[in-house]
Amino acid sequence: MTTKVLIIGIGTRGDVAPYAGLGVRLREAGHEVTIAAHEPYAELVPDAGLACVTLPGDPLTALTGRISISAFRDYSEQLVEGLAGLREREADVLLLGVAGAPACHVAEAMGVPSMGVHLQPVDPTGDFPPVMSLLRRSLGRWGNRRAARLAFEVPAAGPLLAGLGVRMRARLGLPPMTPRALYRRRESTRWPVFHGVSPLVLPRPADWRPGLEITGYWWPPRPRGWQPDPVLRDFLASGPAPVFVGFGSLAGTRAEQYTALAVDALRRAGLRGVLQTGVRGLLSDDVLGVGDVPHDWLFPRMAAVAHHCGGGTTGSGVRAGVPAVAVPVMNDQPFWASRLTALGVASAAIPFRRLTPARLAAALTAAVTDPGYGERARALSAGVSAEDGAAPVVEAVDRLQARDGPGRRHG
């Protein structure tokens, strides 16, 4: 019998894509998979042959430009309403990303279990400070753990993790619980969390409790029937391997400005480039702007990749085995940038707010001329590519089906 799996894929394109890959593996194992995602990024789901539920709002509006309290409040209200509406869906288990954590209350209201499928390591550890905060330096082992725990226990410290949970319970008519009590319940039950990142990129912290696992990446599927644009193929064949420059979902906010910066940097470095900065077409004989191109196809054809260090893009770059230039913008991106530097596949990160053509040109030049970056990148790629990050999640859902069977309450 089939288990109905509902994945809560809150976030932008880089968050939804790994969940689509995980969903494909679950479907291949015989489970029925639906992904809930914000409408601007939901097209990835049917492209993967999975069922989709669209959620209102766009997190990018609350995270870019001049961040305002009202913008975040509007988005959070849409998120609460969208997640609460999932109560009427049929599901046997909910799989929750970090930003979808309030949906654990939806699972409780539905009478079904839930598990974490995280793209960021938010559980307390002494190894590093909270990755979704503004902290960039270690507070020491005790301080790191305490700061991360506050994100779960104090609404003001972690609005997505704590504050929204309180509002969600009220919206669903569940008994009130303080964020601290919710966190204690989470820990005492050893709520399982699987992290879609390679343990070679992020070793599992030794002070994590049982039930927190780092499994390996969940690779996004290619859109069905996708073929590279002939213009892109011709460009790649017309000269030496270019470098890639892209800034993720942020690119569309100031496309012309970011494109001009990248073109200037490539000119200074004397390099060919493929840009994913929001402007498309042949910008010069040596620079091509592209739209969405599967990173698993594009990145191995690059001499280096400069990107914002979102978790999914970071994984794709590691898998491709090419050097990186880290240009983190916000949230968990500085953390992944620091991991690339520590692994020796990238030089020191350039925070996006400090990015200039000269700095980007120097970093790209170092990435393509220092053989050490390429050697370490290829060795890391070999290890990461041999992992099967989806298998532990599939096994956990299989165990759930064997233990309880489908047919639990469906809203």
The reported pLDDT for the residue numbered 64 is: 57
Q: What is the mean pLDDT of the chain?
A: 90
Handedness of CA 133, 128, 18, 196 (dihedral sign): negative
Question: What is the Cα gyration radius of the chain?
Answer: 21
Residue 157: band (very low, low, confident or very high) from pLDDT cuts 50, 70, 90: very low
Q: How is residue 286 annotated by DSSP?
A: T
The tokens 């700095």 sit on which residue?
Answer: 359
pLDDT of residue 171: 93
Show the domains of the chain with their CATH numbers. 4-218+389-404 (3.40.50.2000), 230-385 (3.40.50.2000)
Instruction: Count other C-beta atoms under 10 Å from residue 147's C-beta.
Output: 16
Q: How many Cβ atoms from other residues are within 10 Å of residue 324's Cβ?
A: 30
Q: What whole-number distance in Å separates Cα of residue 70 and Cα of residue 82?
A: 18
Block residue for tokens 């054809």? 301
CA distance 138 to 49: 43
Contacting residues for 116 by C-beta, under 8 A, at least 6 apart: 95, 96, 97, 98, 101, 191, 192, 193, 194
161 band by pLDDT with thresholds 50, 70 and 90: very low
Cα–Cα distance between 193 and 384 in angstroms, integer? Answer: 20
pLDDT band at 277 (very low <50, low <70, confident <90, very high): confident
SS3 16: helix
Q: Are 336 and 69 in contact (CB under 8 A)?
A: no
Burial of 94 (0-12, 13-18, 19+ CB in 10 A): buried
Taking the complete model, does pTM exceed 0.95, yes or no?
no
